[in-house]
Structure formats: structure tokens, C-alpha cells
Chain A
Amino acid sequence: MATGAETAARAEPAAGRSRRSWRGHGWWVFAAFLVLMAAWAAVPELFMPFDSDRLNPLRRLLSPLAVSDDGRHLAGTDSLGRDLFSQMIRGTRLTLYIAVVATTIGAAVGVLVGMLAGYFGGLPDRLLMRLGEAQTAMPMFLVAILLLSMLGPSVVILIVVLPTLVWPIFARVVRAETLQVREATYIEAAVATGCTVPAVLFTHVLPNVVPRILVLYVVEIGHVMLAEAGLSFLGVGVQPPDVTWGLLIADGRPLLTVAWWLTILPGVLLGVVVLSLNMLSRRFEQYAGAAA
């Protein structure tokens, strides 16, 4: 994607300049939005206009921007009269928490596997990477549904299952980078100064692959977030009374024809967050490209 944009920029200098300036400065809007999301997750009470759990039959299914006796409902209310905007804010914490923790676990596993496979090559490389490929070949989303329905849906199991979706991606990228770094003279020089294998991997190889990991990490948070929403939507993910955006979407589905906002607005929020993550990742990619 980025490569395509760069080629286009080179081909048309005029268009390229405007695009580059957009790419240079547009990212902070998305970054600011993500900071807002982090704030929602950290201190939802500060942002929620209403108590997200308070039921009120008198203000059921109000459309967005409608005014009740309590005030204006920015995102409308659900079938039990709860304020949707407040619920979306409340759901932010668990949504982000699951996505970040699961992606971090997946990244840690993938980075370790990728470095070992790339550095040692040979049999360990073949074993580890075939394992990743075999897993990629399976429809992991379906396996996740199966596992969650067998073990019972819970946040903990979700956090254990979701990393399996992403670790092979990290492993592949890190392995490829490690293959390059491994050949560098400074790795040989590090060995010649007495570095043991763990020291070489963690102090010399890892810092050199971090830019690529960072790019991937940010994108994968978005992917995991979508996966969690999918699982919650299907009823095998997060369970009430916990709230995530995926769960809100699922709750709104039966009422789609009468109250579209219950499904659409959490969906849009989820989409914008994933888009922001992608944009931020592209920004990191430019840095990583410049560094390499």
C-alpha cells in the first residue's frame, strides 16, 4: 500500500507533494483520536453523560440527538432506555484491553519464534515456521468459536485464544528481518566480543527488528479488535454485564429495522478506531522505512 503510494508520488511530482504533505501531517488527527479512546478507557466516568446502566422505560429507543428529561442523548438510547453513548464509552476499556493484551501476547510469541527460526535456520526454522503455516491454513476464527463454545465464553479464554490468530504473522515478519540482520558483520563482531546466543538475540537482533514489529503491532491491534467484536457478536466472546463494542453491535442487531443506531454507531466507532490504528501504523512504517 505504502509502496504504491510512494511510486505514485515519484511518478507525479505535483500530486506527490500534496499527498506527502497530507501524509506528513494527517496522522496526528488519528493519533489524537486514539488518545481520546485511551482516555475513555482510563476514566470513563469523566466522559459518560449518563449512568450507562440506568434503565428508564420512559426513554426507550430514542434516536440519536433526541432529548429526554435527563438531557440530550448523542447516540440515542436502547430498548431498555440506557444511553448508548455512555455505553460505548464504558465498553472502550474492555475492548481496548482485550485487543492490546491479546496482541501483545501474540507479538511476544511471534517475535521469539521468528528470531529463533531466523537466527538458527535449519531444522528449528522449518519446524517453527511450518507450525505457523499449518495454523494459518486452519480457519482459526472457526476454531476460536469452537474452543470458546466448548470452554465457555470468558474474557480470560478470549485473551488466550486471540493471540493464536496473530502470532504467525509476527513470526514471519521477524524471521525475514532476522535473516537479514544475522548476516551483518556487527552480529559476528558481537559474537567475537563474547556475546552468548540470548545476548545476541535480545541486545543486537531485537532492536534492529523493532521498527517492523511496531508497524505490525499497531495494525494487528485493529485486527484483534475486529476478531473480538466478531466473537462477541456471535455470542461466544464477552458476556453481559461486561460491555464491549462488539457486544453492543450484537445487542442492537434484532432491532436493526427499528433502531439502526444501536448497531451502526458502535460499528462506526469500531471502524474509525481500526482505521486510526492503520493510519498510525503507516506513519510508523515511514519511520521504519527511513531507518532502514
Chain B
Amino acid sequence: MTGAGTEAGAPPLLEVEDLSVSFNTRRGVVRAVDGLSYTLDRGEALGIVGESGSGKTVGSLSILRLFGLFDDVTVTGAVRFEGRDLLRLSETEMSRVRGGQIGMIFQDPLTSLNPVMPVGEQVAESLRFHTGASRDAARRRTVELLDRVGIPDAANRYHELPHSFSGGMRQRVMVAIAVACEPKLLIADEPTTALDVTVQAQILLLLDELRREMGMALIVITHDFGVVAATADRVLVMYAAQPMEHCPTDHLFQRANHPYTEGLLRLVPRFEHRAHKRLRPIEGQPPALTEPIAGCPFEPRCTHAVDRCAAERPPPVRLGPSHHSACWLAEERARRETAPDKPWEQP
């Protein structure tokens, strides 16, 4: 699938092409990401949505090649960042990219800061490594950054250890670390999952502001459509390691095409629902990723499935500029007379 913005001569900021990641474990080969492709332009925000184990996190960690030291992992495809294939860089070149060109925010702010290192030092560390700033310059910049991400009394809190910060504050520190060197791309892996709802909104707002200020591109990994709606220009829906649907965010809520996307949207609670209306879960379980999947991975749970779905893997079908759906019925579904502007009320 190709996204928007490839029409210009310049290459897009990030181009993921047919990325596949598999882990060789004792229980067999697990395909964590299977044929993922997308592009991202400068300053653009992409939301990657999927349930646990759908490959959304691994797919994004592979951009930075952050695999566990021991994982026996096979990566194929290409991840081109400003034209350079990150999968082919040396470890030293890669450490320049990490934090310098591409920032990363993790899910759990409580464990992503080193407990025995003052928070300010953790921000300054990245600055000094990537910009070669002096100790003093890095400290001044760190205080500015901490102030910018909303840490009150930043100059005095520089020397405090993470345990004296709340979850939301720690996530703000993580944001400061991630944007310290003004990266061109920020990857946020479920940045709000571990936070209170009110804090979630603040962090999302902060990310959005910083993105506009610094002109960063953003990849937000989440399972929360609310987060997608708040932050992303485009959405990529993943299921069982494969991309299912890729579309502009407003299309997602008005013209979702893929049966899986539709099923997910039906599960978002709505104010319009009458109080007694039950949410209808998608029947069945996601497939085991150790088994090869011949057809569409969603076929066993899909209420629209036809014979072909089990036998052949559907290619992404282009439904409009930057709207693709990996479904054999995509065109047919797109032609439906009543555009499902309220997919959650469909039969």
C-alpha cells in the first residue's frame, strides 16, 4: 500500500515496504509482522490500530531495530528513512538515528525511566550524545524542554529521581527525552495506555502541539480509536500481523470498508446508544501466528466471508487516494448504496 504524498519527486520521510518480522522461538516461527507497507510524509501523523498481538508494536519497533538482545529474529523488506534503509545500517549508525532522527515513547512511563538517575540527566544524556552539547548547554536545554512539556518548577526538579514523579509527569519526561533532539519522526507506542483519562488527554494534546511546533511526523500505536481521532491524519488497521485497512482518519469513521474495521468500530461505546444496548463482540479468536495463513487472516471470524477468502490472501485494494482495504469484497462494499456513515448501527 502506498499512502498520500508520493506524487512529489522527493522521497517520503519514511517508507516501509513489505516489512516482515518473524521470531524463531522454541514453539516455532512466529510471524509478528507480515507484509506491512506504508509511507509517511514529513509532519504527518499515522495511527496504527490493532488488538494485542496484531504486530502493531513490533512493526514500529523494527523501524528502530529495537529487538531484545536474545530474540532470534528475521526481518525482511525495507524501512527507508529519508531514502536510507535502516535495516541495513550498522549498529553505530543506528544509534545516531535512534533518539536523534527518530524519537520513541514507550507504553509504561513507570518503568521507562532509570530509577537511579535524576530525570534531568536522562534528558541531557540524549542531548549530549546526539548534539555534542556541553554539560551546561545540555542542562539549560533540558530545563527548557522539561518546562515545555509541562513539568512545573523544571529547574529544581532536574535533580529529582523518577520515583518522585507521578505517571503523567514521567510520561511528560519521556516525551521530553524523545523530542530532545527535535527528531523528524516520533514513534509513540501506546503513550496513554497506562495513564488516567484526564492525563491521557493532556499528553495527547502535548504530542499534537509538539508535532506542529517541531514539524515532526508521528506514529501513534494504540488500540483506542479515541486516540486515533485526536492525533492521526491517517489510520492503519492491523490484524494478525497483517495490514487490513489504511485510510484517512475521517474516512475511518465514515467510510470504513474492511469488515474487521467495521467490527472494531461497532465496539466503541457511543453516547447515541440506548443504555441497554449491548456491544457485539467479534466472534471467535485471532489466529495463532505460528501457523501459516493461506487466505485472509480474518476469514474465520468474518460474517461476509466468501470461498475465495480462505484460499487466497487478498491484496490491498485501492478505494481512493490513500484509502486501501485488504479485502476481496472491498470494491463491492465500497459501492454499497447507503454509505455506512454509522457503521456501528449496521446489522
Residues of A within 8 A of B (CB): 119-122, 182, 184-186, 188-196, 199, 203-204, 207-208, 210, 291
Contacts and interface: CB of A to CB of B under 8 A. Distances in A.
B147 interface: no
A192 B66 contact: yes
Nearest to A191: B66
Interface stretch (B122-130, B276-284, B306-314): B122-130
Given A189-B106, A189-B174, A203-B125, A194 B114 contact: no
Contacts of B106: 185, 188-189, 192
Nearest to A190: B114
A10 B125 CA distance: 43
A183 to B, nearest CB: 8
Contact of B69 (A119, A184, A204, A207): A119
A194 B69 contact: no
A194 B108 contact: no
Nearest to B109: A185
B112 interface: yes
A194 to B, nearest CB: 4
Contacts of A191: 66, 95, 98
The 4 lowest CB-CB distance pairs between A and B, nearest first, are A193-B99, A194-B99, A192-B104, A185-B111
B112 A186 contact: yes
B127 to A, nearest CB: 10
Nearest to B101: A194
A185 B66 contact: no
Contact of A192 (B69, B99, B114, B130): B99
B96 A194 contact: yes
B120 interface: no
B197 interface: no
Contact of B95 (A186, A194, A291): A194
Contacts of A185: 106, 108, 111-112
27 contacts: A121-B70, A122-B70, A186-B112, A186-B113, A186-B115, A188-B66, A189-B104, A189-B106, A189-B174, A190-B114, A192-B64, A192-B66, A192-B104, A192-B106, A193-B129, A194-B95, A194-B98, A194-B99, A194-B130, A195-B99, A196-B91, A196-B95, A199-B129, A207-B114, A208-B115, A208-B116, A210-B116
Nearest to A197: B91
A192 B114 CA distance: 13
A119 to B, nearest CB: 7
Contact of B116 (A182, A194, A207): A207
Interface string B5-22: 000000000000000000
Contact of A194 (B113, B129, B174): B129
Interface string B48-82: 00000000000000001010011000000000000
Contacts of A291: 116
Nearest to B177: A193
Contact of A195 (B97, B115, B129): B129
B288 interface: no
B114 A186 contact: yes
Contacts of A204: 114, 117
B223 to A, nearest CB: 19
Nearest to B94: A194
Contacts of B104: 189, 192-193
Contacts of A122: 70
Residue among B97, B114, B130 with the highest chain A CB neighbour number at 10 A: B114
B92 interface: yes
B111 A184 contact: yes
Interface string B174-204: 1001101000000000000000000000000
A250 B180 CA distance: 64
A186 to B, nearest CB: 5
Contacts of A120: 69
A195 B126 CA distance: 8
A184 B112 CA distance: 7
Nearest to B98: A194
Contact of A182 (B69, B103, B125): B69
B98 A192 contact: yes
B98 A208 contact: no
Interface string B189-225: 0000000000000000000000000000000000000
A205 to B, nearest CB: 9
A281 B108 CA distance: 34
A20 to B, nearest CB: 24
Nearest to B180: A193
B108 A203 contact: no
A119 B68 CA distance: 11
Nearest to B114: A186
Given A185-B108, A186-B115, A208-B114, A196 B66 contact: no
A182 B103 CA distance: 21
Nearest to A183: B68
Contacts of B180: 193
B100 interface: yes
A189 B122 CA distance: 10
A189 B70 CA distance: 17
Contacts of A194: 95-100, 126, 129-130
A135 B150 CA distance: 54
Nearest to A192: B104
A199 B124 CA distance: 13
Contacts of B64: 192
Given A121-B69, A186-B112, A207-B116, 20 more contacts: A122-B70, A185-B106, A186-B111, A186-B114, A191-B95, A192-B99, A193-B104, A193-B125, A193-B126, A193-B129, A193-B177, A194-B130, A195-B99, A195-B125, A195-B129, A199-B125, A199-B129, A203-B117, A204-B117, A207-B117
